[in-house]
Structure 1
Amino acid sequence: MTGFLKISPVFLLAGLMIGSNIGSLDLDILVIGPIVTIYAAIIAYITEKIKFDEIVDAAVDNVKDLQLVFFILMFAYAMAEIFMSTGVGAAIINMSLRLGLSAKTIGVTAFLVTAILSVATGTSWGTFAATAPIFLWLNHIVGGNILLTLGAIAGGSCFGDNIGLISETTVISSGIQGVEVIDRIRHQGVWSILCLVLAAILFITFSLGLSSTVGNVSDAIEQIPQDVWKSLMEESPGAVKLLNQVQEGVPFYMVIPLIIVLITAIKGLPTLICLGIGIISSLGFGLMAGTVDSVKAFLGLVYTGFSEAGSWVIVMMMWMGAFGGIMGKIQAFKPLSNLIIKKVRNVRQLMFANGILSIIGNAALADEMAQIVTIGPIIKELTEENVEASKEDMYTLGLRNAIFSDALGVFGSQLVPWHVYVAYFVGISNAVFPLYEFQVFDIMKYNFMAIIAVVSILFLTLTGFDRFIPLFKMPREPEVRLKKTSSI
C-alpha cells in the first residue's frame, strides 16, 4: 500500500496530462505542475513523516541543479525567435526550393528542408506550422501523395528537436542527465544523420511512380485561403512571418548565422557561447539584409524569446523539478528500479530497459516534455545506482540516457495516436489544408524518420551494434558492469 501511495503522484500526473491533451479537462502544464507537486508533498508527509522544511529543501535542491539549463533555454528561445524573424529560416527554405519541385521530389525535399529548419529554429511545432502550408499546397499543385508529404513534414520537423543545439527538449534532457549539449550532439550526430539518410531514401523510393510536373512555391503560397492565414496567425504568428519572407524573398547569405552556429558547435565551444555567436551574427547580417530595422527592434526579438521561455518552459521546469525532488526524497521509484535490476543481466540490457521506460512514460503521459522531466530522473538514478564504471564511461551512459529521453519522446510521440504531438500536427494540417480531412494515423503511415529512429536506437543499444557507428558506441563489459554481478 505504501509503495502504491508513493508512486500515485505519477498516476495523477499522467491522468491530468492525458485528460488535458486528448480529453475535456483543459488544464495547462503550469497548473498541473503545482497540483502534482503539492500532492507529492502530501504523500511524502503521509508515507515518510517528512517535515515540511525537508520537503521544501528537497524540491529546491533539485531545481538548483537546473539553473544552467534555464539560462541556456532563454538564449535558445531568443535565437529561435531571431532565426524565424530575421530571414534565416526563409533563406533555408528558398535555397532549397529554388529549382522547383515535382510530385517525385516534394516528399524528400519537404523532409530535408524541415529537418534543416528545425535544427535552425529548435522547434518542431514552429517548423511544422511554418512549412505545412507551403508543402501541402505545393503537393496539391504538383499532384503528389498528400500523406507521404505529411509524413515527411512531420518527421523532418522533429529532427532538430532531437539534435538541435537550441531545442528545448535537447537542452532539458541533457541537463537532467548532467551532460553537455555539445557532447550529446557529437555522440548522436552520426546516428542521427544515418537515420536521416535512410528516411530520405525511403521517401525517394515511395515517390518513384509519381508525376514529374514542376510546381512553384509562390503559387502554392498564393493559393492559401484567407481563412487559413487567419487560423495560422492564431496558432503560430512566427510561421506567418516566415511565410511572408519566403514569398517576398530574403538574401541567401542570411543562412550564414546558422552555418556559424553549427561550426562553433562542431568545434566544441560551450553551448552559451554558440548561442551568443548565433544571436550576434544574426544582428549583423539582418541589418545588412534589411530584415532587422534597428538594434532596438532586434533587442525586442531577444526580449520576446526570453519572455516565451520564462513564461512557460522555465516555470514548468521549476515545478517539475520540484516534483522530481520530492519523489526522489521518498524513493518513490525504488520498487520499479528493483524490478528492472532483477530482470536485466548486464548494463546493455539495463540501458535498453531505460529506453523502454522512456517509451512507456511518453505514451502514458501523452506529452514528451512531461516524459523527459518525469522519466529522465528515473533512468538516471537506475544507471548511477546500479552500474560500476569509470567517470568517463558513466558520462557516456548519461549521454545515451539523454538521447533516450529526447529521441523516444520526440520521435516516439509521433507513433502514439493519443499524443499531444499528433493532435497538434493533425490540427495544423486540417487548418492550413482544408481540402483533405487528416486523421491521427495519417501522421504515422509514412513517418519513416520516427519509425527508423525509435526502432534503431533500441535495436543498436540491445545488440551492441552501436559500436559500428562512429562516436555512438556505449562502453562494453567488463569496463562497465552491474553492481549486483561485480562480486561474482
Structure 2
Amino acid sequence: MQKKGSLSALLPLLVFLIVYVGLSAMAGDMYAVSVIIPFSVAAFTAILMNRKESLSDKIEIFCKGAGDSNVILMILIFVLAGAFAQVAKDMGAVDSTVNLGLSILPSNLLIAGLFIISCFIALSVGTSMGTIVALVPIAVGIADKTGVLVALAVGAVVSGAMFGDNLSIISDTTIAATRTQGCEMKDKFKMNFKIVLPAAIITALLLAFLTRNAGVTQVESLEFSLIKILPYIAVIVSSLLGLNVILVLLGGIIIAGCIGIYFGSFDIMALSQSIATGVMGMGELIIISLLISGTISLIKHNGGIDYILSKGLRGFKNKRNAELGIATLVSLVDICTANNTIAIVTVGPIAKNISDEVGLEPKRVAGIMDMFSCVFQGIIPYGAQLISAAGLAAISPFAIMKYLFYPYLMGVCAIIAIFWHYRKVTN
C-alpha cells in the first residue's frame, strides 16, 4: 500500500453510529428510528466534506457510486426477491410448506423436527422473520402439549430461521454478500453449506437429546398442497443448477402466480397487487443500498478506504488474519445496527478492497460476511428476530438466548473453518 489515506474521511461512518445509537437511545427502541435517517445524515456529511472540490463534483461522485452496475443489479434482485416472496405467500406456499413438514414429523422428535422445518422454510422463503412469524405460534403450541420449555421450542425455530437466512439464495444477506464481492450465489452456497452443516447436525442432535423424555401427543392433521410448494423447489433447484438469479426469480414468480390463479388464491389484478406489495416491501432496503453505496464512494474518494487498508493491513500479515478482520468488522456493524443485511451492505465495499489487496477468494469473503452477520443477528436480544419471537411467545428475549444453539455453533464452525483453511499458511 502506497497511499496512507485519511482518517477524517471516515467521519460519515462515525456520524451514522452516533445518530443511530443516539436516536435509538432517546426512543428506547432500536427499531423506532428507521436507519434511512442516520444513513441520510451520514451521506450529507460525506457530501459536505472536502472543501477542495465543488459541491456539484461531490454530488456526481456520490451518484456514480450509487449508480454502480453491481448496486443496480443488486437492487433489481431485491425487487424480484420481494415480489416472489409475497406472491408465494399469498398463493399459500408458506402454509403448505409448514403444514407438510409438521405432518410428517415423528411424534417423539417434534422439537428437533421443528428446527429442521425452520431450516427448510427459511431456506425456501429467504427470510428469517417470515419463518419466525409462521412457526413460533406452532412452537408455543407444541411446547404446551409436550411440557417442553417454551424458550427451548422458540429457540429451535429461531435457530432454523438463521440457518436459512444465511444460506437461502433469495435471502437479502446472500444477495448483498455475493453482489458486493462479485461471486456466484451457488459457489457461496456450496462453501457455506459445508461449514455450517456440522453446526446444524449438532443442533438437531442436542434438541433431540434435551427433549427425548418429553410427553408428546399426536399433532392434529394439517392440510397442505404439494403443488403449492413447487415454486420453492423450483427456485432452489434451478439456483443450484447455476441458472442466472434473475431468471430464477422471474421463473419463481411466474410459477407461483400461475398456481395461485389456478387454485383461485388470486386473480390477475390481485396478483399484480401482490407483486407490487412485495416490491414496495423492499423499498427501505433499496434506499439504504443507494445511500450506502454513494457514501462509501465519497469515503473512498476522500481516502477513507486507503486509510483502513494502510492501517488494517498491518494486522493482515496473511489471508487468515484478513478474513478474521472482515469477520470482526461485519460482526461489530451488525451489533451496532441490529440488521445483518445493512451490516453486509456497509462492510461489503471495504471487504472487497481488502480482498483485492490480500488476494482472498470472493466466495469466501461473501460467506464470511454472511455467516458472522447472521451469528450476531440471531443472538442479540434487541434484534428483530428475537424481539418478534419473544413477543409472539410472550417471553423474554434473554430466555431464548440460552437455547440458540445453532447461531453459537455456526460462529464456532466459521472460526474453525478460517483457521483450518489457512492452517499451512504462515505469511
What TM-score do you get using the length of structure 2 for normalisation?
Answer: 0.90
Residues 1:414 and 2:378 are matched in the alignment: yes
Structure-2 separation of matches of 1:252 and 1:37? 48
Q: 1:125 to 1:16 in 2, by over 3 A?
A: farther
Residues 1:277 and 2:264 are matched in the alignment: no
Q: How far is the alpha carbon of 1:257 from its aligned partner?
A: 1.6
Give 1:117-196 correspondences, 5 Å limit. Answer: 117-196=121-200
Deviations along 1:269-316, whole A, 9 cap, x unmatched?
0001111111111123223433x232222222112112222x311111
Structure-2 separation of matches of 1:340 and 1:20? 30
Structure-1 separation of matches of 2:373 and 2:341? 7
Q: How far is the alpha carbon of 1:100 from its aligned partner?
A: 6.3
Letter in 2 for 1:368: N
Letter in 1 for 2:306: K
1:33 alignment counterpart: 39
CA contact (8 A) 1:355 1:404 kept: yes
Residues 1:450 and 2:424 are matched in the alignment: no
Structure-1 separation of matches of 2:65 and 2:237? 33
Structure-1 separation of matches of 2:15 and 2:67? 25
Structure-1 separation of matches of 2:196 and 2:18? 33
1:76 alignment counterpart: 81
2:313 alignment counterpart: 341
Give 1:247-258 correspondences, 5 Å limit. Answer: 249-258=223-232
Structure-1 separation of matches of 2:317 and 2:255? 51
Q: Secondary structure at the match of 2:53?
A: coil
Letter in 2 for 1:407: M
Q: How far is the alpha carbon of 1:465 from its aligned partner?
A: 7.3
Structure-2 separation of matches of 1:374 and 1:41? 17
1:260 alignment counterpart: 234
Residues 1:199 and 2:199 are matched in the alignment: no
Q: Equivalent of 2:300, from 318, 322, 328?
A: 328
2:393 alignment counterpart: 433
CA contact (8 A) 1:142 1:215 kept: no
1:382 alignment counterpart: 354
CA contact (8 A) 1:41 1:55 kept: yes
CA contact (8 A) 1:100 1:216 kept: no
Q: How far is the alpha carbon of 1:4 from its aligned partner?
A: 4.7
Deviations along 1:99-140, whole A, 9 cap, x unmatched?
4675x5232122111211112221111221121112112211
Q: Equivalent of 2:56, from 53, 57, 74?
A: 53
CA contact (8 A) 2:146 2:214 kept: no
Q: 1:286 to 1:151 in 2, by over 3 A?
A: same
CA contact (8 A) 1:74 1:306 kept: yes
Structure-2 separation of matches of 1:199 and 1:118? 16
Structure-1 separation of matches of 2:310 and 2:236? 42
Letter in 2 for 1:443: I
Q: How far is the alpha carbon of 1:267 from its aligned partner?
A: 1.0
Give 1:212-291 correspondences, 5 Å limit. Answer: 212-216=216-220, 249-290=223-264
Deviations along 1:82-115, whole A, 9 cap, x unmatched?
121111111111111114675x523212211121
Letter in 2 for 1:409: S
Structure-2 separation of matches of 1:448 and 1:143? 20
Count of matched residue positions in the alignment of Structure 1 and Structure 2: 418
Deviations along 1:28-66, whole A, 9 cap, x unmatched?
1222221110012223x15xx233233223222222221
Letter in 1 for 2:119: A
Letter in 2 for 1:403: G
1:367 alignment counterpart: 339
Q: Identity rate of aligned residues, in percent? A: 19
Deviations along 1:151-207, whole A, 9 cap, x unmatched?
111111122221112111211121111223233223323334343222212211222
CA contact (8 A) 1:174 1:399 kept: yes
Q: Secondary structure at the match of 1:57?
A: helix
Q: 1:281 to 1:139 in 2, by over 3 A?
A: same
CA contact (8 A) 2:324 2:418 kept: yes
Q: Secondary structure at the match of 1:343?
A: coil
CA contact (8 A) 1:368 1:413 kept: yes
Letter in 2 for 1:259: I
Q: 1:429 to 1:22 in 2, by over 3 A?
A: farther
Q: Secondary structure at the match of 2:313?
A: helix
Structure-2 separation of matches of 1:200 and 1:164? 19
Q: Which runs of 5+ in 1 are unaligned?
A: 218-246, 388-393, 467-475
Q: Secondary structure at the match of 1:105?
A: helix
CA contact (8 A) 1:88 1:255 kept: yes
Q: 1:193 to 1:86 in 2, by over 3 A?
A: farther
CA contact (8 A) 1:182 1:271 kept: no
Structure-2 separation of matches of 1:106 and 1:11? 46
CA contact (8 A) 1:407 1:453 kept: yes
CA contact (8 A) 1:15 1:365 kept: no
Q: 1:348 to 1:99 in 2, by over 3 A?
A: closer
Q: 1:330 to 1:307 in 2, by over 3 A?
A: same
Structure-2 separation of matches of 1:110 and 1:42? 52
CA contact (8 A) 1:18 1:366 kept: no
Q: How far is the alpha carbon of 1:412 from its aligned partner?
A: 1.7
Q: 1:24 to 1:127 in 2, by over 3 A?
A: same
CA contact (8 A) 1:106 1:135 kept: no
Structure-2 separation of matches of 1:22 and 1:450? 27
Structure-2 separation of matches of 1:216 and 1:100? 12
CA contact (8 A) 1:141 1:215 kept: no
Q: Which moved more, 1:202-211 or 1:152-161?
A: 202-211
CA contact (8 A) 1:116 1:160 kept: yes
Structure-2 separation of matches of 1:105 and 1:275? 34
CA contact (8 A) 2:320 2:422 kept: no
Q: 1:21 to 1:448 in 2, by over 3 A?
A: farther
Letter in 2 for 1:449: Y
1:92 alignment counterpart: 97
Q: Secondary structure at the match of 1:114?
A: helix
Residues 1:10 and 2:16 are matched in the alignment: no
Q: Equivalent of 2:365, from 401, 410, 432?
A: 401
Structure-1 separation of matches of 2:281 and 2:347? 25
Q: Secondary structure at the match of 1:342?
A: coil
